[in-house]
Structure 1
Amino acid sequence: MKSKAVVFTSPGNIEMREVSLRAMNDDDVILETYWSAVSAGTEKMLLNGRLPSMQMTQYPVVPGYETVGKIIRRGKKVPESYEGKFVYVSGSLGYTDVNAAFGGASQYIISPLHKITLLDKLPDPSVAIALPLGATALHAVELGTISKKKILVIGQGAVGLLVTEFAKALGAEKVVATDLNAFRLEKSRADVKINVSETAVGEVLAEMELDVIIDSSGSMKAIEDNLRFLKMHGEIVFGGYYERVDLAYAQIFMKELKLICAKQWALGDLDRVRDMMGTSLIDFKRIFTHRESIHGNIPKAYETAFSNPNCLKMIFNWQED
């Protein structure tokens, strides 16, 4: 089966190309994509050749792990009830002529049934584009000691905004958020918001001692600059992706700080966040800032996603003419 897909052909080069799907197994489904999104972190590193070298990251490669579509075909072992249902899938390795990291930016996607997340109870399935970021944010928050604690969230990009919301929902006493961008801070629901391009964090926090720092910026410098606000035995949750861990050790040593790495999401988090999307607890769509038809200027859309600080999430509409 053939499919049109976004393909990174070499460092810095993006094409819409026809690709081939592998043969279907009995426990597979094929979905037609309705919406996919750009990961401004992972996909930027992939396009620039900065992800760890392995077979799946070798060009040509189909990017993407944020895809919502409708099941149009099913294998013999898949119940008929799945036909026509909207699902989320975190990409696909089901291509024969290109690699996939992680293969979600494709018109058609083949996936084993156990890797999909059903969305049939959501009034608006498009909100599930936020599932992976929501699950990532929830996992980072739950790795820290949050309830009745004072929390600093560094960075109010898409993940940082959701980290802030989850921290409040899970009982944090106070949530402080920092960012360099006024637009992002306007979207934030933190109790205290600090634009660090204009105001020093110390001027606002004064004598406040923090229990936990959750970093969503990916910046070692930003983490290091804020270590002095942590109390003894405080926690640092690394919620971004870092090429190197490089922090001055003195503060960590003297305060016996606990360093926690949040890889992705835990088993069951996607389903938990999906269920939250059916409530008014958190406004997941607040991160959806930019949209583009898949028939539009895709390289330009990626440039916007990667370089415009006001672009929290670029969404591609695959059904728009």
Structure 2
Amino acid sequence: QTAYTSISAGTERMLLAGQMPHPMLKLPVIPGYETVGRVVELGADVDPTWLNRWVYVGGAQCYDGINAAWGGQSAQLSADVNRVIPLDGVQPRHGVLLALAATALHGINLLDPQPGDRLLVLGQGPVGQLAARLARIRGAWVAVVDRNPNRLAHAEADQIVQVGDGLPSLQEQIEGGVTAVIEATGSMEALASTIPLLGLGGTILLLGYYQTLNLPYMPLFLKEARLLTAKEWAPGDLLHCRDLIADGTLDVSAMLTHCLPITEVATAYDVALNDANCLKLVLDWQDVPSN
């Protein structure tokens, strides 16, 4: 029984714009892969201790006659027990961030920053915020940059940098180079502006999604830069993030900036996709009656 879901703005914006041409993503679809709820019914072979537990479900394929893009935006879900993550020790609302946290963790694990490494995280949307927090947990020095002061107000970093018209350039505000740039904006233009800060042999981690890569080659060539891509989480990443949130190592409470009831879903999508001050929106399903 669903209690909370969220809207993954970057992914769902591309879905609604028709930029994800896959047969299972042909409209109409049931979107969403960030569902938190309570287990109300079990299959015959499922351990009875699952009943009434709070869990996260990364989407479901339990529908007939309609594409389940990911299938998470529904009052009730039926899912294989292997796709369910118990939220023991986690506030249920915070569980909607597990998917993006695990995606960021996968990227950080691939990058493998060491204590003392200097990282620049470009963009302070949810994935950028989580990547910065997770890199600092690993002992790296982290600077974050964004144009939006409201997003930067929620950031956790060693240096917080706002860029934009009338403000000093990124190069003027960050002293010294960085060993890696983590790109979480989806903008090639923004990424290109950071290459002068990258140290020789440095790494660019692409955590956004891009239709094409369009970067000036000469600066990359001179830096002997490495490009690293990361897709969704690896096995174990969801549980690892659950544990980090549960023990307080990864604090996500400030990232849930907006909450609306599911009865206002049209407004919720408008806010999540178009309000730059919305970091992460929670949809509350708790007033939806059970079938």
TM-score, reference length from structure 1:
0.86
In 2, the alpha carbon distance for the partners of 1:191 and 1:83 equals 43
| 1:194 to 2:161 alignment | yes
Contact 1:145-1:212 within 8 A present in 2 as well: no
Taking the TM superposition and a 5 Å limit, the aligned residue runs for 1:68-147 are 68-119=36-87, 121-147=88-114
In structure 2, list runs of 5 or more residues that go unmatched: none
In 2, the alpha carbon distance for the partners of 1:205 and 1:283 equals 26
Question: CA-to-partner distance for each residue in 1:272-316, whole Å, 9 max, x for gaps?
Answer: 010111112121122101111012x21121011001011011111
* Percent of aligned pairs with the same amino acid: 36
In 1, the alpha carbon distance for the partners of 2:90 and 2:220 equals 47
In 2, the alpha carbon distance for the partners of 1:184 and 1:277 equals 20
The two structures, once aligned, show a CA RMSD in angstroms of 1.2
Instruction: Report the AA paired with residue 174 of structure 2.
Output: L
Contact 2:182-2:206 within 8 A present in 1 as well: yes
Residue 18 of structure 2 is matched in structure 1 by 49
Residue 253 of structure 1 is matched in structure 2 by 221
TM-score, reference length from structure 2:
0.95
Contact 1:130-1:285 within 8 A present in 2 as well: no
In structure 2, relative to structure 1, the CA distance for the partners of 1:153 and 1:122 (3 Å cut) is same
Q: CA deviation at 1:211?
A: 0.3
| 1:214 to 2:186 alignment | no
Residue 270 of structure 1 is matched in structure 2 by 238
Match of 2:275 among 308, 314, 318: 308
Question: CA-to-partner distance for each residue in 1:218-259, whole Å, 9 max, x for gaps?
Answer: 111111111111111000000111111111111111221111
| 1:231 to 2:199 alignment | yes
| 1:203 to 2:172 alignment | yes
Q: CA deviation at 1:123?
A: 4.8
In 2, the alpha carbon distance for the partners of 1:55 and 1:305 equals 25
Equivalent pairs counted in the alignment come to 285
Q: CA deviation at 1:138?
A: 1.3
Match of 2:210 among 242, 259, 284: 242
In 2, the alpha carbon distance for the partners of 1:289 and 1:205 equals 28
Q: CA deviation at 1:126?
A: 2.1
Residue 158 of structure 1 is matched in structure 2 by 126
Residue 317 of structure 1 is matched in structure 2 by 284
Taking the TM superposition and a 5 Å limit, the aligned residue runs for 1:1-80 are 32-51=1-20, 53-80=21-48
Contact 2:90-2:245 within 8 A present in 1 as well: no
Question: CA-to-partner distance for each residue in 1:135-174, whole Å, 9 max, x for gaps?
Answer: 11111122214122110000011111111111111010x2
Q: Higher strand share goes to which structure?
A: 1
Runs of 4+ aligned residues of structure 1 deviating over 4 Å after TM superposition are none
Contact 2:178-2:202 within 8 A present in 1 as well: yes
Q: CA deviation at 1:187?
A: 1.1
Question: CA-to-partner distance for each residue in 1:184-214, whole Å, 9 max, x for gaps?
Answer: 11111111111111221011124x0110000
Helix, strand or coil for the counterpart of 1:111?
Answer: coil
Instruction: Report the AA paired with residue 219 of structure 2.
Output: Q
In 2, the alpha carbon distance for the partners of 1:122 and 1:129 equals 14
In 2, the alpha carbon distance for the partners of 1:317 and 1:259 equals 39
Residue 180 of structure 1 is matched in structure 2 by 147
